[in-house]
Chain A
Amino acid sequence: MMNKSKKREILMPVVVLFILLLAVPVVFAGFSDMWNKITGWATSEITTVSISVGNNAPILEFVSAIPAQSVTESGTASVVFSFTATDIDGVGNLNDNLAQARFQRAGETTRENLSCAWVSDIDTDTANYTCTIDIWYWDGAGSWTINATIEDINNAKGENSSTTFTLQETTAMVMSPIALTWPTINLTDTNVLSNNDPVTINNTANKDITAGNVKVAAIDLQGETTSTDFIYANNFSVNVNDACEGTVMVNNTATAVSGATITAGNNSAGQGQEELYSCLEGMLQTISAQTYSTAGLGSWTISVS
């Protein structure tokens, strides 16, 4: 009879050997293949491993309020405002070069700044940006939406269009020349056009000057030597074409020039302009030969509204 210690001496190597046999397939392919054949396990398998690295898009939480604005006649008005962008992946994730802003309004050209400037980091995940956008003089009055955007370095975009501002209505014009002359005229002459017209009126702001709102108030011309002689206002007509037989003037009364309209627009592109031609249709045959002018009774007025 073997005692217990003897039995243990025989069994221990057997147990160790069994454990080794189970472990060896991990190392030796040949045995493992054989094992797989016995067990029916797959010998190889293609596995796709995808690793997702999370990215959070920036959030534009704050856009500064813009008070009511007005255009600058015949130019641009610069509007400055700021916005903040938050990226919970940290401010280093924000692409400062893609901080942009736009002013938008239906029917109007969008005004934009595609390179707003980084001002400072407010904290670890929020940065402050400032932006200047130019409004042109013909940009329409009303409510404009401020659209601010930024992208992060992974091209995820944050956007805020929740703020608006009011662009007020401005009426403005540039008129030239502001004095009309005629050539030497015989009393019997009729339909004599001014020799330095037209008077060109540019609409230099954002109000459309509609039909009936371009007016001329003519005043009788008084003789500078014999003040009792006049060339009457109703001897003159004003026309949008280079011709006589236009709208007949009425003394000291604003009279709408037929056909004259000046829609707001880019004067440099030929928009927002009107030309007025003045004609001396005739005069009283009894007045004396002298200089007649507006010096005595006052200037003519060209108005837009």
Chain B
Amino acid sequence: MIKLNFGFLIALLLISPLVSAFGATTPYWDDNPLIMYPGQTKDFALILQNMVGDEDLVLEAELVSGAEIATLVDEELEYSVPFGRKDINVNLRVTIPEDAAPGENYNIEVSFKETPTDEKGEMVQMAGQVITNVPVIVKSESEVPPEEETLQPEEKEKVFPTTAIVLLLVIILVILVYILSKKKK
């Protein structure tokens, strides 16, 4: 009888990480697609986080789909994500071709995969992968909303202490002038 020997693997498991955990955030998703016009270029970042467990991670980024309009602009596509960080930017540039027709849709997929630690003796080692989707809709330039700006809403001026007082003073002045002119007559 031929047997396959996997028995000693359990001991090796004890020295390996027991969980895989990380996440990726996108500013655009199915309910909030990226809307661009033909010829437009836009840069934005996906954000990696490693907030569970206690291990520092290295994540490999790969553009899975959408290469016709998108590029990963960072030189190094292996991202070090220390434990406790949720601010590691993965920079992406999207350019819509000049001849793209309004109404066309694209889907950009970027995958982030944990760098596996393949060791002899571990029968089936598994790595976690998170794939982020960025839907892109092409519209005419007039239909594309302007770039978002972080505007601090202005504090509304207090009407009473300023405008109302000035108005009151003007009225009193007019009345005084009127009374004085009457008296002179």
- Residues of A that sit less than 8 Å from B by CB: 61-65, 67-68, 70-75, 84, 86, 88, 126, 141-142, 163, 166, 168-187, 194, 196, 199, 204-205, 207, 221, 224, 278, 288-295, 298-305
Contacts and interface: CB of A to CB of B under 8 A. Distances in A.
A305 B131 contact: yes
A204 B49 CA distance: 11
Contacts of A88: 160
Contact of B3 (A65, A178, A184): A184
Contacts of A86: 158
B13 interface: yes
B52 interface: yes
B156 A61 contact: yes
A126 B158 CA distance: 10
> 4 tightest A-B contacts by CB?
A172-B23, A305-B131, A303-B129, A299-B116
Contacts, number: 222
B121 A295 contact: yes
Contacts of A298: 116, 118
Contacts of A176: 18-20
17 contacts: A74-B51, A172-B23, A173-B21, A179-B126, A181-B6, A182-B6, A186-B2, A278-B124, A290-B5, A291-B6, A291-B120, A294-B123, A299-B116, A299-B118, A302-B126, A303-B113, A303-B129
A171 B150 CA distance: 25
A166 B29 CA distance: 12
Contact of B126 (A168, A292, A299): A299
A305 B13 contact: no
B2 A180 contact: no
A295 B127 contact: no
Contact of A171 (B1, B120, B130, B158): B130
A170 B111 CA distance: 13
B63 to A, nearest CB: 14
Contacts of A224: 120-121
A23 to B, nearest CB: 42
A125 to B, nearest CB: 8
Contacts of B31: 141-142
Nearest to B5: A291
